[in-house]
Structure 1
């Protein structure tokens, strides 16, 4: 993943859903930012694909649990939140963020297991795209919404092999990602730095701790499966989080959001190469419609 997402923090979102970047530095610094964006996107989707390889042993719930542990370790180490100093007003949105965070990843990975990486990440991407289009309120954004909606209708068209539960879980992941963006804004206003996100990741990991215990007791996982799950946590959580912190200091937020729209395409390609999940022409056209909607929204100048 977004796809999935991103933990999937506010990093992988369209431009209107991320903090404004500093003035881009010329030359090598800007190039470094672009290269980092590419690497972050590829790592994110490869991590999700590797997590899917552990599904036969751990299942989506087990993989998400391991990913939450890794995310919590990384974010707690980077942000070092002072949990004792948090007030009740700060803990409220942090707890909600933890709930949304866990639900987002669980619904996304379950959707990946049922409908494939490319389609799941495309549906999840509708969350930040909706936030971006709703905030802009321009005529072109209404057109973009229609294009994206046509893509979604195409993906969810009735057919004998359609997995509507998997698609519904993808849309649930999208709703959670949108809520995650909005909650992160609230947490960012009430908790300094990245301490709020780190605390939410830690809470989410605690919620999933019993899952890990049950898995170990009922069926001890193989080393390979745990390795895939840990790789998913590192590549799809830790690397994108740190890479996007670096990127947003070197490229404009608009360029960042534009590149993030390519994630569904990257997810489809990685799903095909790593997992053998091929897509037909209609599915590719639908993914292209969603990507084009976001690209158009980012490229058309704002007044």
Structure 2
């Protein structure tokens, strides 16, 4: 999940970047120029999901809240070093908006990782994706959007554990839904922050605030294990895979393709999460669950196309 580019309504979590440039984008640009923009988007999607899979593997050693702290702290450190944010000239309203952005980012990641600990990756991302889908539908006034809402609702009904023993956990579904709600708020706030604060300074403020908010629970639950060099390295790897690498790839793709096409491609994220969960984590989904993921993917692509 959830740090990504919120250019179209369906860009993602586990975090989107407001407009601005980072040096990694310049470093990767030469090599990325030989790859079609659609390929860059797909690579970015799988980078995020592999990062989530790596984070889920850490749950055997650390609780989800501690992994969230590691992931956000690593992302904040990398972003601050690369972007070098400038706070001079920012007013109280700017700082308050950045703080709200950071609080949303913190809750989004905490709820997503709690859901990830209880649900297969593909299902977790599918439910979470209802957040940006709602933003896309709200941005459109076409009657056909009712179809996309109904299709997404059908997908969620297929996922719900109605009377199933040993099926999906309602608590996990609730955490994923909360992450989706925060993702919707994240998209709205990222647009507001990007409109008031130049470059990546707004996101840097948000990341630092999110680090401060997740630190108490992350340090309390993680304890001395957070100081293990191997875990620190894995946390940095999650931050790179979930933030810096996809940001660089997707920013280059957005320079070479329409935002609407970018948003449609981003709708493949739930399916990519299910594939990564299958290959990396051995999470096998039933036909009914794949059908539910397909409903949400089609609904997301349709809503993005008409919004």
- Given the two structures, how large is their TM-score scaled by the length of structure 1? 0.87
Please list every run of 5 or more consecutive structure 1 residues that lacks an aligned counterpart in the other structure.
21-27
Deviation at 1:52, TM superposition (A): 0.5
Partner of 2:276: 270
Q: Tell me: CA distance 1:19–1:237, structure 2 relative to 1, closer, same or farther (3 Å).
A: closer
Q: Deviations over 1:208-251 (max 9, x none)?
A: 33445445645466544443332211101221222222221111
Partner of 1:10: 6
Q: Tell me: CA distance 1:220–1:189, structure 2 relative to 1, closer, same or farther (3 Å).
A: closer
Q: Which of the numbers 75, 82, 96 marks the counterpart of 1:78?
A: 82
Matched, 1:228 2:211: no
> SS at 2:255's partner residue?
coil
Matched, 1:255 2:261: yes
Deviation at 1:263, TM superposition (A): 0.5
> SS at 1:248's partner residue?
helix
Q: Which moved more, 1:82-91 or 1:280-289?
A: 82-91
C-alpha distance in 2, partners of 1:138/1:41?
28
Deviation at 1:137, TM superposition (A): 1.6
Matched, 1:147 2:151: yes
C-alpha distance in 2, partners of 1:266/1:239?
17
Does the aligned pair in 2 maintain the 1:116–1:271 contact within 8 Å?
yes
Matches within 5 A, 1:181-260: 181-211=187-217, 213-214=219-220, 217-219=223-225, 222-260=228-266
Partner of 2:109: 105
C-alpha distance in 1, partners of 2:245/2:35?
18
Deviation at 1:33, TM superposition (A): 1.9
> SS at 1:249's partner residue?
helix
C-alpha distance in 1, partners of 2:17/2:197?
17
Q: Tell me: CA distance 1:285–1:212, structure 2 relative to 1, closer, same or farther (3 Å).
A: closer
Does the aligned pair in 1 maintain the 2:56–2:117 contact within 8 Å?
yes
C-alpha distance in 1, partners of 2:235/2:73?
10
C-alpha distance in 2, partners of 1:139/1:29?
39
Q: Tell me: CA distance 1:217–1:165, structure 2 relative to 1, closer, same or farther (3 Å).
A: closer
Deviation at 1:8, TM superposition (A): 4.3
> SS at 2:284's partner residue?
coil
Partner of 2:141: 137
Partner of 1:54: 58
Q: Which moved more, 1:73-82 or 1:171-180?
A: 73-82
C-alpha distance in 2, partners of 1:167/1:264?
15
Does the aligned pair in 2 maintain the 1:18–1:253 contact within 8 Å?
no
Tell me how many residue pairs correspond in the alignment. 289
C-alpha distance in 2, partners of 1:284/1:75?
36
Deviation at 1:121, TM superposition (A): 0.6
Q: Tell me: CA distance 1:178–1:9, structure 2 relative to 1, closer, same or farther (3 Å).
A: same
Q: Which moved more, 1:68-77 or 1:116-125?
A: 68-77
- Given the two structures, how large is their TM-score scaled by the length of structure 2? 0.86
